[in-house]
Amino acid sequence: MLSSKKYYEDIVIDNEQRIRVQLEKNPRTLDPQKASLPEDLTLICNLQDGILGISQDGEYVFGEGLGKSYEVENDGLVYRFKLREAYWSDGTPITTEDFYYSWKRALDLKEEAPYGQLLHSIKNAKQYVNEEVGPEELGINIVDALVFEVELEEPDPNFLYKLIYPVFFPINYENSNMDDTIFDKDHNRYISSGPFHIEEWLDYDRITLSKNATYWDADNVVVEKLDFLIISEDIRIFEAFQRGELDIIEVSKNYKTNIEKSPGFYIVEEGQLDSSIKLQEFEMKSGQKEEHFRIGIIKPSINRVFVLPTPLTYHLKWSYVRY
């Protein structure tokens, strides 16, 4: 997704290295195993990391997330994962126990985990959900603090791709084992593995995330703060954008003409999102050294206009957090 570091070196996001984003709804939960709504996933993917990460070429790979490497054995039936040395935002190590607990928890939640079925390719996962076997029969085996193995029912060519879903993200075992309120109400106790942690949470108003100093790739996180302003009405969103209070907005196509007349960003049709456009846009904006750079994306399928700092984003993390 991010094409080349050289196109980012001269860009100043703003004087505070702060980006202000619009969310349409108040997030319901920050629980990676329970989340399914866009506003929930947007926050989670800036707060947590998974095994896989995204490379500069836009590919999901090992070495860009919490996973350092992996091996496939027994004709695709066994995956052996090695984690990098990384830490939660409270300074405690991220271990294989966190992954085991989180994946098992996704199965324990049953229908409360909307994407829990993605784990059903793991050996005995379906039987475990149906309470036909105990946890010791699950095809997840901890080797040591940084290595664990996963055995599948049968070879699954999509298994690695599934790991990008937050249902596979780890949660801190020691912290979350107390109760689940940290995901829904008690945000002061929420512990992050990703590039940001929660600084302030004002329901139905504003959520502020700050850079996580313990993040394994903190040196390449170029944003110090993310402000999520919760606004749903198009007129209020556009007015906030015009006042310079928002850097990323989503409004209906009715506002396309007004947005096109505003300086500082581009409208890019969804079908035109390729690497050449990304390079051209960032090279030009870098040359101008503008404090705010914005690119709009037209999404015909959902009849909305996205105004974004890069031509491609779903998880905000991948778009502008890292080089």
Cα–Cα dist 86/81, whole Å: 15
Give the bridge partners for 196, in sequence order: 211
> How many CA atoms, within 13 angstroms, populate the side-chain half-sphere of residue 32?
30
Q: Give pLDDT, residue 112.
A: 92
Write out the residue limits of the CATH 3.90.76.10 domain(s) in the chain.
60-176
Query: How far apart are the C-alpha atoms of 139 and 151, rounded to whole Å?
Result: 5
Provide CATH 3.40.190.10 ranges for the chain.
5-24+195-321
Question: In the chain, what are the helix, strand and coil shares in percent, each to the nearest 5?
Answer: 35, 25, 40
Instruction: Confirm whether pTM is higher than 0.85.
Output: no
- Whether the Cβ atoms of residue 136 and residue 102 lie closer than 8 Å to each other: no
Mean pLDDT, consecutive 10-residue stretches, the chain (323 aa), reads: 25 59 88 90 88 67 86 95 96 96 95 94 97 96 98 94 91 74 76 92 92 89 84 84 74 65 52 34 36 37 36 31 30
Domain 60-176 has CATH 3.30.200.20: no
pLDDT of residue 224: 84
Residue 161 in contact with residue 70, Cβ under 8 Å? Answer: no
The beta strands (E) that lie in the chain are given as 18-23, 53-54, 60-61, 67-73, 78-83, 140-144, 147-151, 196-202, 206-211, 225-230, 249-252, 265-269, 294-299, 304-308
Domain 5-24+195-321 has CATH 3.40.190.10: yes
Q: How far is CA 201 from the centre of its chain?
A: 18
Contact 88, 94 (CB under 8 A): yes
Residue 91 forms beta bridges with which residues?
Answer: none
